Structure 1
Amino acid sequence: MTQSLMLKEAGQSPEVVATLLEKERPAFAEIARLFSSARPSVVTTAARGSSDHAATFFKYLFEISCGVPVASVGPSIASVYGSQLHLKGGIHFTVSQSGGSPDIIALQAAAKRGGATTIAVVNVTDSPLAREADIVLDMNAGPEKSVAATKSFIASVAALSGVTAAISGSKELSDGLARLPQALAGTASIDGAAAEEVLFNASSLYTGGRGPAFAIALESALKAKETSGLHAEAFSLAELMHGPMRLVQPGFPIIAFAPDDAAFAHNAQALERLKGLGATTVSFSSTPLPGINLSMPSTGNGLIDPLVSLLCYYRLIEQVTRRKGFDPDKPANLLKVTETM
């Protein structure tokens, strides 16, 4: 069977991340100097789809590591509603693989007019978004032909994590990022057969996580929908304990991203409760958990580890998609670049 572009490109992620972390050191340092000088009380972001999930990962990682709030601004604020932004002294990040969608370009322009320094995290560095940004942070992912973003998502998260490490000065975070390429490469030999069966036989499922792992839950739910046509909803594992738990019946699948970080004990408790209700739980973690557990390589930093789990998940959902008779590179109704307003 010919390897799909999605699987091939996902497999390039370790090399992409290693290249990115090396080549973008000057950009990380420049952004750290900017932050030290501007000292913004809030950082803003704008993105769509998978890129917005990368921004959500950044939100949690940055708030945990630096203590500065990160707020997502809806692109339609500028592109549809024409509102002015007041961001004097602010720093605004736009995340986009293509850098070509009119709505995020409009919002970046509005942020700049409002007084913010704009940073474009892009894979296409000659795109309109990149040309108009004050600083460009290159994903260094190379061409990505599969409609489903994989290596560009992992690269965008790695880039934003590099920014966070530079600003926070955290050695633990820097060391974890340095080990990220090796940990990503270590996912290639993981046996995910039991998890694959759960996904293949599911008609609907929840994905969950907390902190940066919640962003990975969002991304995994999106990939289930856009590649295999599988209905999936993402929740914080804390939120899942509220209203969403009403739908949990015997056999209901729950995919959990539970790294060994400060939320691990809470996640384990939530999964025990869900398993007690009859849920079929599949966890991606470096530490054993109830139900089906895929043992993940670790970077030594639980805040970065959810990204390692995602690469394993990408391989699983690609295989499930093929088993269902779909082409993961050509999902129905979707194009690689979506231009919205």
Structure 2
Amino acid sequence: MAADEHLTTTVTLMESEAAEAPEAVRRLVAANQASFAVLAERLRANPPARIVTCARGSSDHAASYGKYLIETLIGIPVASAAPSVASVFAAPVTPGSALCIAISQSGRSPDLLATVRAHQQAGAHVVAFVNDETSPLAEMADTLIGLKAGPERSVAATKSYITALAAFVGLVAAWSQDEALTAALDTLPAQLEIARDLDWSDAVQAFRDATNLFVIGRGYSFGIAQEAALKFKETCGLHAEAFSAAEVRHGPMAIVGPGFPILAFATSDTAGDSVREAATEFASRGARICLADAKASGSLPGIPGHPAIEPILMVQSFYPMANALSLARGHDPDRPLYLKKVTETR
């Protein structure tokens, strides 16, 4: 069997699980609508003085997305907890009015649990976005938001990442009472079905022989850029770094020259304009740009909509491409070297 024929006939767990995301989001929204409403009423009545997210890997990239969503639509600064502060240094958390949002597929990593426990003991209300609802994290939560992604057997997280993004949308839409965001969440599953089938094969050809690349986003799309960079590393054996379109213009831009590969995620808002400007500048130097653009002006098709929803659609399109790229480069996306599904860091 020829290599290209193998790519078209092999169905991996990563590919099939990513394809389940639209239905998983439907389950998430239906199952947690009441919980989002109760939590939102609590948060409006008693706004927390600080918000802390606790996660690692893909879940932490979902937290990056949530940070922008909360800060732009709610206005409360969000910080990412460093798990080693609790698990290694055993440092106490200063008491106060706080919201701790923990995001995890398994809900079992010891350092995550230690961090959540420290914040809870300091008075934080703990919200858990977790796929395994029998996990220790789920049991600890003051508010449990089950991700409803179903079993995820591939080491590379896909549908659980997308449902974590949708969980942040559900929380913020209810909290802010933003009608446009609420309507966008209602239509998200159907849009994900369209995004799942978009043709991103140009990126497979662009990155097939790459050794290094940049992934660029800004605002709502930055957490998606982080996730894409991780997937390139873990499933494709390809070194990739994620940058904000603003940050990449500092030191990192010095190494961008002819043929340098870049994947860029541009939303339809002003943050997306910044990504488009960076992509245009790098293209003028001869860099090889694959631009996913919600305004439909890039080489990779995108779907226009609410700017906060567009990156979720982009990552749905990205996963099949990453799966195909992994196979094209001779890797098994379901079994990355040296990795396992639950990382028990302490």
Aligned residue in 2 for 1:110: 118
Contact preservation (8 Å) 2:266, 2:273: no
Contact preservation (8 Å) 1:184, 1:297: no
Aligned residue in 1 for 2:66: 58
Q: Where does 1:119-268 land on structure 2 (aligned, <5 Å)?
A: 119-268=127-276
Contact preservation (8 Å) 1:121, 1:136: yes
Distance 2:159 2:109 in 1: 20
Shift of 1:87: 4.1
Give a deviation string over 1:195-252, Cα, whole Å, max 9, x none. 1101212111000100120000000000000001000000001111111001101010
Contact preservation (8 Å) 2:217, 2:244: yes
> Number of residues paired by the alignment?
338
Distance 1:324 1:256 in 2: 21
Shift of 1:263: 1.5
Contact preservation (8 Å) 1:44, 1:91: yes
Partner AA of 2:300 in structure 1: L
Shift of 1:287: 1.3
Aligned with 2:319 (options 314, 320, 334) = 314
Give a deviation string over 1:147-174, Cα, whole Å, max 9, x none. 0000000001101111011111111111
Identity percentage over the alignment?
A: 42
Aligned with 1:335 (options 322, 330, 340) = 340
TM-score (norm 1): 0.97
Give a deviation string over 1:247-301, Cα, whole Å, max 9, x none. 1010101100101022132222221111111111111122144xx5212123x20
Distance 1:156 1:21 in 2: 11
Aligned residue in 2 for 1:22: 30
Distance 2:301 2:333 in 1: 25
RMSD, matched Cα:
1.1
Q: Which runs of 5+ in 2 are unaligned?
A: 1-8
Aligned with 1:91 (options 85, 99, 111) = 99
Secondary structure of 1:71's partner? strand
Distance 1:21 1:330 in 2: 30
Distance 1:100 1:167 in 2: 28
Distance 2:38 2:302 in 1: 33
Give a deviation string over 1:292-324, Cα, whole Å, max 9, x none. 5212123x2011110101111111110011111
Distance 2:96 2:45 in 1: 13
Secondary structure of 1:201's partner? coil
1:132–1:283 CA distance, 2 compared to 1 (3 A): same
Aligned with 1:302 (options 304, 307, 310) = 307
Aligned residue in 2 for 1:71: 79
Aligned residue in 2 for 1:276: 284
1:28–1:327 CA distance, 2 compared to 1 (3 A): same
Partner AA of 1:327 in structure 2: D
Contact preservation (8 Å) 2:49, 2:97: no
Give a deviation string over 1:20-42, Cα, whole Å, max 9, x none. 11111011112102212221122
Distance 2:41 2:214 in 1: 41
Contact preservation (8 Å) 1:207, 1:234: yes
Shift of 1:193: 2.2
Secondary structure of 1:303's partner? coil
